[in-house]
Structure 1
Amino acid sequence: MGREFNFIQHNQINKEKWNALVDRADNALIFCYSWYLDSFCKWDAVVLGDYDGAIALPISKKMGFSKLFQPNFIQKNIWFGTELDPSDLLKLWTMISRRSTLVHFNTNLRLNLNASSRVNLTLHLTDAQTVKLGYSKSLVKNINKHKPSLTIKESKNPLTAIELYKNAYGLLNPQLNNLDYDKLLALYERRPTNFLCIEVTGEGQVLAGLVFAKGKRRLHYILGAPNSKGRKANAISVAIDYIIETYANQSYILDFEGSSIPSVKMFYESFGAQNEPFYQIETSPKWMTLLQLFYNKLLKS
């Protein structure tokens, strides 16, 4: 007899049992908590047994179609709790695909043949001295040059970092809108201990801001950006060095969450970060794919 998987709609999920599973599961992330998910999306779930394992499924309806999507500020929705056997993956994917016309979803499971591996760079924060041995030479040079003239402080408000990010990278990330940032701010106000906000100052002004989600012994780099002076002063590098020094020897993992952009990937790797890949699942009906190809061809004509 196989293991029992159940598809559960959001209003039927036992949040107390769900969050208890997140608490005890070594393979869970802060994104798995119901209060984090509720802040950014509507979601259903597939649950194994009596909340022995689970995966959250952010589902939206658009033009009559059901879409399984990846919400902003949630890098991936993972299976957590009891580990799955290869034979379980087909059952799980069948349950998910039956309910989703479109799928654009990040997870830790290779659910189908269309799954593509994506880069996720992480750094285990052992003792600071050991971690810093993995720094690139150019990174060490830049930090040593600018660190004496900069001040790092932990802020009680992520708004400064968000505004810096919007000014620096907003146009490069059109998928993020003001409502997304408002949701992040609202979650911070409800759960401030689950976030870490860093500001870098120099010459009497804020040069950079960073926001991390903090939970399950991980620091997830949600967003961060310098202004023009901060970029010249390598303020982000100095801030991350501060994080490493502060959280070393506490069993934390610094999760940079990406990136597929070569220059960003190289920057994270300069700290000695290693790849901890996840899977991106994208599927759509054949007729929809053909319709999209026709539409794209029409735009070019």
Structure 2
Amino acid sequence: MLKYLQHSEIDFTLWDACVQRAEQHLVYAYAGYLNVSTGGSWDAIVEMQHGKYVSVFPLPFKKLLTEPFIYQPFHSQQLGLFTTPESRETTVAPYLGQIPKRLRKVYLQLNTGNTFEMGHLPKGFSSVPRITFHLNLTYAYEVLKESFATNLKRNIKKAKKEKFEVTETENLPDLIKLYRQTRGKELKEVKDRHYALFQKQYVFLQKNSLAQLLEIRKNNELIAGALFLKQPGKLIFLFSATSETGKQHGAMPFLISRIIKQYAGTPTILDFEGSSIPNLARFYSSFGAKPVTYLSVSRNNLPWYLKPLLK
């Protein structure tokens, strides 16, 4: 039986036990990460059996004026339905059907495990396919390297000639600074509050040993860095930045090749988290990563005068 729970009714211990046992296990759905990412503004639909949660479906929400709406939190690419072997309701549609009508605007990105478990969407809902790229690291590094594109191998050689060293760090502020000086300048929709939230998310990840931050410096100047979210069976390429010097010398390809080498031969999927942007898609696929589909679902029953404010 499915039940809608308000945030105050959710047992976080039962919640995390379910997410960690789920086939679709993702750190984004941990109660602590959701609490940080949403400021504690999330409800949920759960399936309960014998006093424990066997399926969970988080519903992050915000308010515009007095209008609550469901949204996808920052740095949480996928959420959706998380099921365990005891689950009886294993398709997404019944959970969407439990979302109260008062929540007239809904936008959620489901996880890759939900793509073929949708069921018939309730009236008013639609879905759109999105793409991420996965690289299976089960094989030895020498085997994985055979699938690297020629241009990628060339860039890695450039970095080797520079004798770059990839080091672990906890210095996220420097990486954020580099990002804001480079690609971040083009992303006007990413505000100071998003970077402040990212710092809080990183604190949670660090505290729970769920993050691996790598960097490359040249003459003590940061030229490339990347934050990987790590969980059993999966690495997620969450955030990165490269300077012009780093681009010229193949720093990011070299950094990613190092983490591939570190986890090669283990039952791990490297999720590049995107992308539909052609240049990024080519870059991720150059490592041998394959496209994997996930879906976004939405409905918008807002009155006409609110729709432009909540696109």
* Same-fold status (TM-score > 0.5): yes
Distance 2:109 2:90 in 1: 20
* Aligned mates of 2:3, 2:28 — CA distance in 1: 21
Q: Which residue of 2 aligns with 1:120?
A: 132
1:156 aligns with 2:170: yes
CA contact (8 A) 2:80 2:110 kept: yes
Q: Give the aligned residue type for 1:31.
A: Y
Aligned with 1:185: secondary structure?
Answer: helix
Alpha-carbon distance, 1:227 to partner: 1.0
Taking a change above 3 Å as real, the CA distance of residues 190 and 106 of structure 1, as seen in their structure-2 partners, is: closer
- Counterpart in 2 of 1:214? 230
Partner of 2:149: 136
CA contact (8 A) 1:220 1:257 kept: yes
CA contact (8 A) 1:256 1:268 kept: yes
CA contact (8 A) 2:178 2:243 kept: yes
Tell me, in whole angstroms, the C-alpha distance in 2 between the residues paired with 1:165 and 1:273.
24
**Residue 19 and residue 213 in structure 1: after superposition, are their counterparts in 2 closer, same or farther (change >3 A)?**
same
Deviation at 1:290, TM superposition (A): 9.6
**Structure 1 residue 187: deviation in Å?**
3.3
- Cα distance, 1:175 vs. partner? 3.3
Q: How does 1:270-285 map to 2 (within 5 A)?
A: 270-285=286-301
Deviations 1:164-213 (A, max 9, x none): 11221223333322222222223333441211111112244221111111
- Kept after mapping to 2: 8 A contact 1:60/1:66: yes
Q: Select the residue among 181, 198, 202 that pairs with 2:195.
A: 181
Q: TM-score, normalised by structure 2?
A: 0.86
Q: Do 1:29 and 1:216's aligned partners in 2 also have CA atoms closer than 8 Å?
A: no
Q: Which residue of structure 2 aligns with residue 46 of structure 1?
A: 45
Kept in 2, the 8 Å contact 1:30–1:216? The answer is no
Structure 1 residues 154 and 276: CA distance shift in structure 2, 3 A: same
For the 8 Å contact 2:25–2:82, the answer to whether it is kept is: yes
Of residues 137, 147, 172, the one that matches 2:186 is 172
Task: Answer with 164-173 or 181-190: which moved more.
Answer: 181-190
Distance in structure 2 (CA, Å) of the matches to 1:158 and 1:96: 37
Consecutive unaligned residues of structure 1, counting only runs of 5 or more, are 297-301
Q: What is the aligned partner in structure 1 of residue 107 from structure 2?
A: 104
Equivalents in 1 of 2:172, 2:253: separation in Å? Answer: 19
Q: Which residue of 2 aligns with 1:231?
A: 247
State whether structure 2 residue 17 is matched by structure 1 residue 20.
yes
Q: Normalising by structure 1, report the TM-score.
A: 0.89
Listed one character per residue, the Cα deviations across residues 140-179 of structure 1 (whole Å, up to 9, x for unaligned) are 1111122231121111222221111122122333332222
Aligned length: 291
Q: Which amino acid aligns with 2:157?
A: N
**Cα RMSD after superposing both structures:** 2.4
Matching residue's letter, 1:241: S
Please report how far the alpha carbon of residue 289 of structure 1 lies from its aligned counterpart in structure 2 after TM superposition.
Answer: 8.4
CA–CA separation in structure 1 for the residues paired with 2:175 and 2:233:
23
Write 1 or 2 for the structure with the bigger share of helix. 1
Q: Secondary structure at the match of 2:178?
A: helix
Match of 1:299 in 2: none
1: distance between equivalents of 2:258 and 2:307? 50
For 1:6 and 1:34, locate their aligned partners in 2 and report how far apart those are by CA, in whole Å.
17
Partner of 1:64: 66
For 1:209 and 1:89, locate their aligned partners in 2 and report how far apart those are by CA, in whole Å.
Answer: 37
For structure 2, the 5+ residue unaligned runs are none
Q: 2:29 aligns with which of 12, 16, 32?
A: 32
The 8 Å contact of residues 33 and 204 in structure 2, kept in 1 or not, is answered as: no
Aligned-partner residue type, residue 141 of structure 1: R
Q: 1:215 to 1:86 in 2, by over 3 A?
A: closer
Q: CA deviation at 1:82?
A: 3.1
Percent identity (aligned): 27
User: Kindly tell me: are residues 211 and 282 of structure 1, through their superposed partners in 2, closer, same or farther at Cα, counting changes over 3 Å?
Assistant: same
Output the CA distance in 1 between the equivalents of 2:12 and 2:90.
28
Give the match's secondary structure for 2:265. Answer: coil
Q: Distance in 2 between matches of 1:136 and 1:253?
A: 19
